Amino acid sequence: MSNLGGGLMYQQLPYKMGGDFVTDRRISIGASFPIIRKEAKFSRPLINLGISYGRRGLKNTYLGMENYYQVNLSFTLNDFLWFNRYKID
């Protein structure tokens, strides 16, 4: 079982070239995959993977347009043991 998500981004950067702001456009997709550990009763650690493709810059300037790819890899270490309230009888 994994979680899947994606998004679009458009941003005007604070830099000006020839009176126009530099823009950045990006499309992203990502997923989280659980690491299954049988000995851990409460833990659900995750591996998160994201991939983005973007375009940054201005046309018709010496700066030009830049295409880029970005890969993100991260880990989420959850431990539900500390966030559960237990009732004591």
Please tell me the class of the 3-82 domain: mainly beta
Q: What is the mean pLDDT of residues 14-31?
A: 88
Q: Residue 80 belongs to what H/E stretch?
A: none
- The angle at the Cα of 6, spanning 77 to 57, to the nearest 5 degrees, equals 110
At 64 the pLDDT is 81
Predicted confidence (pLDDT) per residue in 27-84, tens digit: 999 999 888 766 666 567 889 999 999 999 887 777 788 999 999 999 887 666 566 6
**Does pLDDT of 15 surpass 70?**
yes
At 6 the pLDDT is 93
